[in-house]
Structure 1
Amino acid sequence: MKQVAVFGMGYVGCVTAACLSQDGHSVIGVDIDADKVAEVNAGKAPISERGLDELMQQQVASGRLRATGDTAQAVRESDIALIAVGTPSTEDGAVTVHILEKVIADIGTALRASPKPYHVVVRSTLLPGLLETRMREVLEQALGRPLRSDVVLCNNPEFLREGSALKDYYHPPYVLVGAESDAAAQPIIDLYHAVDSKKFVTDSRTAALVKYACNAFHAVKVTFANEIGSVAKAMGADGHEVMKLVCEDSKLNISTAYMRPGFAFGGSCLPKDLRAISRFAEHEALRLNMLSSVLPSNESHLKRALKMVRDTGQKKVGLVGLSFKNGTDDLRESPMVEMVETLTGWGYSVKIYDPNVMLGRLRGRNLSYIDRTLPHLAQMLVEETGTLLDHADVLLLCTDVANDFDWNAAHHGRVLDLRADLARPLAAASAKINSGEAADAASAARVAVA
């Protein structure tokens, strides 16, 4: 069992402290508010949360949970600090970090006076980069030295909802720790031995952004349902029934499908249907801010990809995959078609490899679309990978057509994997990765701990 100090006796801190104590750890809560400290020591929860009063009363009575306002005492009597103080927004939306900085500085000062191995774990919601730069600097200044392996700074985002926090603590989507190594994360993972979920370790920037991504996704889901409800009402449909049936689809809708950062979407359905809903909303004077922003957002991914190509300084481009996805020859509104159209307009020399696309077999609207947008496509298509490699100074992997060949090993120049590189840090994006591993490389969480 661990000796743990929990800084901040708010919603997250109180729930975390009480549950850790219930699981057998020795826990000391820390807060600058003397009234909160007194309430905890009296076995009362300073906040209103279902079931928390009873749990805190039990744990204080057991002797495993207590509280103090003395940081130095808390650090002396613990091996791990979980920091759960507030990081509220400023008027311009920025994150307020001065409270967190003060706590980390006080912990560092206590460790400077009484050196020992220690884990400083930020549970507060903090934007990626702040822990690794500002908070590390604050801790090192307080310690009077650079961080070494004896003092670990990492993060452990929480996924608790007010009103169901105790249930969420023991049944979260997962336990997530952001640390420099599995060994550094293991003491934090061990805290949650009674928690029924998978445990994941990744880098601290990724861990921090996961929390923001989850909350943003929840907000997107609420907004999406509300906008579909508005459209349904205007169309005379039942919005609740629509969304109920949408949620019945666990293959594509409520699933991992389409949830991998990659390139822009296209095809004959998604752009067309988004435009139709947006046009109807305009006619009915409905304001669908989110749905109407989807196509412009999609276009921005294409522009980012074009900038990546332009930044290489190379004018001879090879494209792997032209249809909007692998396994089809449908070129309608494929972002790759628009990319080729733009690049040729800029004076680039482009060759394309896509075994799914054969000009002689294109028919109907598919043929008329390509005749309008890429009338010289026949001169760009190549049938052999060697021909593409001989031509290209920069190679663009656009669809999973690329999975059938090791382009990185065969190509002498730059390879941009648009299925992953738009969401990958610069250093990782420039590294050569086998094309068949693109999906895994796009989400490089280090390991799952069972």
Structure 2
Amino acid sequence: MRISIIGSGYVGLVTGMGFIKLGNEVIFVDVDERKITMINNAEPPIYEEGLEELMKEFRGKYYATKDYREAILNSDVTFIAVGTPSREDGSIDLKYVESAAKAIGEALKEKDPYHVIVVKSTVLPGTTEGVVKPLIEEHSGKKAFGDFGLAMNPEFLREGVALNDFLNPDRVVIGVQDERTKEVLEKLYEPINAPKVFTDIKTAEMIKYASNAFLATKISFANEIGNICKKLGIDSWKVFEGVGLDHRISPHFFKTGIGWGGSCFPKDTRALIRKTEELGEEPLILKAVVEVNEKQPLKLIELLKKHVPELKGKTVGVLGLAFKPDTDDVRETRAYPVIKKLLEDGARVITYDPQAMENFKGFYPDVGEKITYANSPREVLEATDVILIVTEWKEFEELDYSGKIVVDGRRVKAAEKTARIYEGVCW
């Protein structure tokens, strides 16, 4: 099929390249000239394992443009994969979704063949039918489910392994109303060997939120138990090894540490809390999940002060800035509150991350000598005897931490074995 993807961030670019690998052709639409140029040069504007190789291999099967009209008129299916950032009150800002819907509607005015629009952006239940649908209808003069198709197809991609997740998912969830749209999407996803869950549109939207809320809950629960284990001298990882063998529970997402970050869990959990409150319900569990997660990274500082009570004037090494390994994404990274607290306490910071340093500099563009960005992890170890581990990059397992005080938020075994003083957050 011929596919157009609106938005070429993590979700849009990975989704598009995944569809290309399955034999389709893709037009990416973006407002960012830098992204457009990079994509047309087969250069990924984000770091994601395997993405650059795929872009080079299939060059000629895709291109990027700013022109909605060109993309819509030359494709059969359009995916909306733009961002839905959080507002200060936790609700999601739909300005990019609304802008995309209007532009798609304008382009559809000129198109007679049946065209399917699929919302892939994470939006709260009711948004596709209550916001996207009326905007496309208004600007196109056409009617959904008759003149054009409309569906919701949430993404479940984990950054760092997103391409594999797209091609080998646990399930494909598709919310549809009309049979014609269902047939188009069945055909598009036919090469993917995974359960296909067809629902109504609002249910598909809710499946995404419920999934992320549960995974966030599982991590915060593990960390709360881990904090108890720490006080009792119990290894929480061993506890959850035993707990996870129960088939009703499973071992996944039971790695205790300093909590979750990224573009999905924080944003989606807060949005669901806000929506729940609007509906007159009290999201007690979800609020606790967020509260535990906000406190968790500061456990690193608490443990550090056991060994270095006065941080003013001290140089502290921070290994890892991305919210997780194998990505350059620093959205809601646990490194931010950790470094913020170190600076507030008067410490100097030397830090290293193999992919995320440029992105992290956006948080602290003018800190002078307070933050130094190292060229290697060994440079960090050479500069200070006090190390905090925030992200579990594989290369941190190859270091010798002899003579160092290490406070570890991610259980790096090499540090546990070699450090002079070693403290794990939950073990």
The TM tier, using the shorter chain, reads: 0.5 to 0.7
Instruction: Verify: 1:254 aligned to 2:253, yes or no.
Output: no
Aligned 8 A contact 1:182 1:201 in 2? no
**Which residue in 2 is equivalent to 1:432?**
none
**Which residue in 2 is equivalent to 1:117?**
114
Flag as ranges the 4+ runs of structure 1 deviating above 4 A.
289-294
**Which residue in 1 is equivalent to 2:415?**
none
Deviation readout 1:225-283 (Å, 9 max, x if unpaired): 11111122233332211111000111x3339xxxxxxxxxxxxxxxxxxxxxxxxxxxx
Q: Report deviation, 1:292.
A: 11
**Which residue in 1 is equivalent to 2:90?**
93
Instruction: Verify: 1:107 aligned to 2:104, yes or no.
Output: yes
Q: TM-score, normalised by structure 1?
A: 0.55
Query: Aligned residue pairs: how many?
Result: 257
The whole-number CA distance in structure 1 between the counterparts of 2:286 and 2:12 is 37
Matched letter for residue 248 of structure 1 = L
Matched letter for residue 210 of structure 1 = I
Q: CA RMSD in A?
A: 2.0
Aligned 8 A contact 2:86 2:93 in 1? yes
The whole-number CA distance in structure 2 between the counterparts of 1:35 and 1:12 is 17
Question: Residue 208 of structure 2: which of 211, 235, 247 is its match?
Answer: 211
The whole-number CA distance in structure 2 between the counterparts of 1:253 and 1:99 is 38
**Which residue in 1 is equivalent to 2:140?**
143
**Which residue in 2 is equivalent to 1:221?**
218
Aligned 8 A contact 1:79 1:119 in 2? yes
Question: Residue 178 of structure 1: which of 148, 168, 175 is its match?
Answer: 175
In structure 1, the residue corresponding to 2:198 is in which secondary structure? strand
**Which residue in 2 is equivalent to 1:232?**
229
Q: Which protein is bigger by CA-based radius of gyration?
A: 1
**Which residue in 1 is equivalent to 2:124?**
127
Matched letter for residue 27 of structure 1 = V
Instruction: Verify: 1:42 aligned to 2:41, yes or no.
Output: yes
**Which residue in 1 is equivalent to 2:241?**
244
The whole-number CA distance in structure 1 between the counterparts of 2:188 and 2:95 is 27
Aligned 8 A contact 2:124 2:206 in 1? yes
The whole-number CA distance in structure 2 between the counterparts of 1:45 and 1:169 is 17
**Which residue in 2 is equivalent to 1:268?**
none
**Which residue in 2 is equivalent to 1:51?**
50
Matched letter for residue 230 of structure 1 = N
Matched letter for residue 151 of structure 2 = C
**Which residue in 1 is equivalent to 2:372?**
none
Aligned 8 A contact 1:30 1:71 in 2? yes
Matched letter for residue 47 of structure 1 = I
The whole-number CA distance in structure 2 between the counterparts of 1:118 and 1:194 is 21
In structure 1, the residue corresponding to 2:146 is in which secondary structure? coil
Question: Residue 162 of structure 2: which of 137, 162, 165 is its match?
Answer: 165
**Which residue in 1 is equivalent to 2:29?**
30
Deviation readout 1:347-392 (Å, 9 max, x if unpaired): xxxxxxxxxxxxxxxxxxxxxxxxxxxxxxxxxxxxxxxxxxxxxx
**Which residue in 2 is equivalent to 1:382?**
none
**Which residue in 2 is equivalent to 1:342?**
none
Aligned 8 A contact 1:160 1:168 in 2? yes
**Unaligned residue ranges in structure 2 (runs of 5+):** 252-283, 290-427
The whole-number CA distance in structure 1 between the counterparts of 2:168 and 2:102 is 33
* Mapping 1:20-419, distance limit 5 Å: 20-60=19-59, 63-250=60-247, 252-254=248-250
Aligned 8 A contact 2:149 2:180 in 1? no
In structure 1, the residue corresponding to 2:225 is in which secondary structure? helix
The whole-number CA distance in structure 2 between the counterparts of 1:291 and 1:171 is 29
Q: Report deviation, 1:190.
A: 2.0
The whole-number CA distance in structure 1 between the counterparts of 2:179 and 2:197 is 10
**Which residue in 1 is equivalent to 2:302?**
none
Q: TM-score, normalised by structure 2?
A: 0.58
The whole-number CA distance in structure 2 between the counterparts of 1:136 and 1:291 is 30
**Which residue in 2 is equivalent to 1:6?**
5
Could you tell me the percent identity over the aligned residues? 39
Aligned 8 A contact 2:42 2:56 in 1? yes
* Distance verdict in 2 for CA 1:202–1:214, change over 3 Å: same
The whole-number CA distance in structure 2 between the counterparts of 1:291 and 1:113 is 46
* Distance verdict in 2 for CA 1:35–1:150, change over 3 Å: same
